[in-house]
Amino acid sequence: MKIMLVVGSLGGGGAERVAATLVNAWAERGDDVTLVSTFSGRGDCFYEISSRVRIVYLADLVRSTATGALNAWRRFIALRRLIRTTRADVVVSFLAHVNIAVIAASRGTGVPVIACEHTNPIAAPRGRFQRFMARCLYPRADVLTVLTAGIVDPLCKEIPALRNVVVLPNPVDADVLRFWKMPGAPGSRKRVLAAGRLHPIKQFDVLIDAFATLAHEFPDWDLYIWGEGPTRDALARQIGALKLDGRVFLPGMTRELWAEMANADIYALTSHFEGLPMAMMEAMAIGLPCVAFDCPSGPRELTRDGRDGVLVDRRDVGGLVAALRELFSSEYLRGELGRKAAASVRERFSTAVILARWDRLYARVGAIRGRYESGSRHHLP
């Protein structure tokens, strides 16, 4: 099968990691795969991509000194030309701004489009222009995928004309499944790990405050928050003000977060909202017990309503402290939750399982196109 996947960049984000996982898996099984970046230039690829994948950078195709609307228009024309000349069986796009561009650029080419929406419109409202464009163009995609069932209704309320909405979660990278939680040496320091863009929506300041409450009671525990972003300086100041230097660390970015997870003891997520948190999914797959705010959306789906992890009301900081205290205090509980989490995630989200769902979706794209005139909305398995 000939597949084109279009992303905004090839940087170090969660969507980019999923894109790398998918194109590598498709290429390794023999599909003809083209990965297109609408923004990054050559050499900006953060994750390893198989040599069997053709990578195209629109920035290199355009090679324009123009900025703003003119540059965006030239990239749009380059994208449309690429869709025409590549003659893919299907174009897959990731994230709202890319979805809008790909749906528009593919009009009249005869190439089906599967647009992948990774956010909850209630938790992450769109700007006025993007909302208008999504309402105009999203219904023209052959299929629109969302990461969790909890996103379907809010998205369909925002865009009533939507049809063919499919719940299709992200896969866990096969490389992650090579790792397991490593038992700590007797007397060694223990780690809480968190990861994500250092941004207000991740609420790492809340996690630091919760850890500070427990730091004196549990002097053998440390907190590591992996990632980069605009709140780094504020978080560093908070750590200093709480006198937690040497206990709370901001080590930056890493290409193999799962290797760090294997040496941690708990994964914590305190986000205001999520799509389907990849770092939490990977932590669970490795066997880390997880404590997470019950935010929209993702943690509840990953933990199967709290059976495979600890869910805390996202406004209940005291509940977060209590959950961490319980996990800090019980190695047995940490082990039990970690084992349940690993079994559940590996069964539901392995690359093989998710690729099979993609294949069923590809097989139905032609049939879905034939139903457009019926005006009905289809929720496919």
Residue 181 has pLDDT above 50, yes or no: yes
Q: What is the pLDDT of residue 122?
A: 66
Helix extents (H) in the chain: 14-28, 58-62, 68-86, 96-106, 128-137, 152-158, 204-215, 232-241, 257-261, 278-286, 299-302, 317-329, 331-349, 351-371
DSSP string, 92-128: EEESHHHHHHHHHHHTTT---EEEEE-S-TTTSPPPH
pLDDT of 376 higher than 50: no
Fill in the amino acid letter for 147. Answer: L
Q: What angle do CA 281, 23, 9 make, to 5 degrees?
A: 80
Most trustworthy range by pLDDT among 181-195, 237-251, 264-278? 237-251
Model confidence, pTM: 0.86
Q: Which fold has domain 176-349?
A: Rossmann fold (3.40.50)
What percent of the chain has a predicted confidence (pLDDT) above 70?
Answer: 92
Domain segments of the chain: what residues? 2-171+351-380, 176-349
Can you give the pLDDT at residue 212? Answer: 99
The mean per-residue pLDDT over the stretch 100-106 comes to 96
DSSP 283-320: HHHHT--EEEE--SSSHHHHTTTTTSSEEE-TT-HHHH
* CATH class, range 2-171+351-380: alpha beta
Non-local (6+) Cβ contacts of 241 within 8 A are none
Residue 350 DSSP symbol: B
Q: Is the peptide bond before 297 cis (omega within 30 degrees of 0)?
A: yes
Confidence of residue 198 (pLDDT cuts 50, 70, 90): very high
Spatial separation of the C-alpha atoms in residues 98 and 141, rounded to whole Å: 12
Residue 111 neighbours by CB under 8 Å, 6+ apart: 83, 87, 88, 89, 90, 91
Distance CA 351, CA 309 (A): 22
Which residues make Cβ contacts (< 8 Å) with residue 263, sequence separation at least 6? 182, 191
Q: How many CB atoms sit inside 10 A of residue 146's CB?
A: 24
Beta pairing partners, 249? 224
pLDDT tens, residue by residue, 336-353: 999 999 999 999 999 999
Cα–Cα–Cα angle for 13, 43, 173, rounded to 5 degrees: 40
Domains 2-171+351-380 and 176-349 equal at CATH topology level: yes
Residue 137: pLDDT band (50, 70, 90) is very high
Which neighbouring-strand residues pair with 181? none
Give the phi and the psi of residue 330 in degrees, each rounded to 5. Answer: -130, 105
Mean residue pLDDT across the chain:
90
